[in-house]
Amino acid sequence: HSVGVIDETSFAKKGKKTACVQKQYCGSLGKLENCVVTVHLGYAAEDFHTLLDGDPFLPEETWSEDRVRCRLAGIPDDVVYRPKWQIALEQLRRALANGVRFSWLTFDEYYGGTPEFLRELETLGQNFVAEIPKSFYGWTQPPEILHRRHPRDGKSSPGRPRKPKLKVKNAKVGQVCNVLKHSPMLRKVPWEKFRVKEMTQGPLVVEAKRMPFWIKDAAGLPSHAYQLIIVRPVLHPDKVKFFLSNAPQSVPLEVLLLVAYSRWRIERIFEDTKGELGMDHFEVRKYLSIRRHLILTCVSHLFLAEFRLKHGGKKSRPHRLPVAQRHPHARASVAPRRPVFAPAG
């Protein structure tokens, strides 16, 4: 149950000369502010977690299109604007090329709401549990595909293959928020209660249900069946979250919730690296210097995480797997942890 976590963080900066800085949403301050945003890939397995990679996000209009400003900040000419999901995808490919493997990948609704990113993960054969926005579109039943043209569409050119398309009488794609309100199929699925994690004010208990869900592929046709997972806290049933997974239907719902609620791990990593390792205390302005600082922080955190795992001893604590009332072995070990990297001299 190794989980890769994709997320971003920000660093408030004054002035206009620091590479990639601009006025944008600063998560650390919770408002629009002058800051640098970086995209990261984390690794978590049982009690171990660390950062694997980090890259600054280069804004398009204020930086990528102004190559003079980029050169003054030390940004190479081959570094251009890329959406954050493309940066995350490059980091994932870099990790896979270096021998790191993830049983699962999870990320927030910005990445989950980007179909191109999900399709690329499918190409890599990567299992994921993605949070998706309430406006995410799809079908609760697979629509029928028409493989031949209607006579009134005109004669097709000889030798040219006919492209499949959706039948006109198919049900239209719907938003997942409307699926929860109006789907008779989902209404028949009972809610299941789970205790997903311990919090300072007590355990977080949620209700969850799932159903098959089809989304559009690159050609606008239905893909294979995904799993749509709806989760709501028992004490706050109006705060509903939606998740999408490409895992087989045989995977227990407990496991999918374990992955979906693993994002807190990278938030804890950001807290530790900023508070203890000075990730947000860099006083450099050049692009390469910022990248070096991010990578050195990743290496430092990895060293300390491995050291703590080896010398910290074992602590008795409940297992993180979400507990269902019907689960017979809720506190049993999920899987032994494997080392992230092979031993090196």
Least confident of 67-71, 300-304, 319-323: 319-323
Residue 207 above 70 pLDDT? Answer: yes
d(CA 215, CA 129) in angstroms, rounded, equals 15
Question: If you average pLDDT over every residue of the chain, what do you get?
Answer: 85
Residue 149 above 90 pLDDT? Answer: no
Higher pLDDT, residue 219 or 212: 212
Kindly state the percentage of the chain with pLDDT values over 70: 83
> pLDDT category, 319, cuts 50, 70, 90?
low
The CA-CA-CA angle for residues 255, 260, 266, to 5°, reads 120
Answer yes or no: are the C-beta atoms of 102 and 5 closer than 8 Å: no
Residue 321 above 50 pLDDT? Answer: yes
pLDDT in tens, 1-30: 799 999 999 999 988 999 999 999 988 888
Segment (H or E) for 253? helix 253-260
> pLDDT category, 218, cuts 50, 70, 90?
confident
d(CA 3, CA 102) in angstroms, rounded, equals 6
Looking at mean pLDDT, say which of 159-173, 180-194, 320-334 comes out highest: 180-194
Q: State residue 127's pLDDT score.
A: 96
Higher pLDDT, residue 174 or 159: 174
Average pLDDT, stretch 261-267? Answer: 92
Provide the 10 A C-beta neighbour count for residue 65.
12
Average pLDDT, stretch 255-280? Answer: 93
Average pLDDT, stretch 105-132? Answer: 95
On the 0-12 / 13-18 / 19+ scale of CB atoms within 10 A, 226 is buried
pTM assigned to the model: 0.83
Q: State residue 185's pLDDT score.
A: 87
d(CA 101, CA 118) in angstroms, rounded, equals 18
> pLDDT category, 335, cuts 50, 70, 90?
very low
Residue 144 above 90 pLDDT? Answer: no
Q: State residue 328's pLDDT score.
A: 42
Kindly state the percentage of the chain with pLDDT values over 90: 60
Q: Which two tokens stand for residue 60?
A: 């398009």
Q: State residue 248's pLDDT score.
A: 92
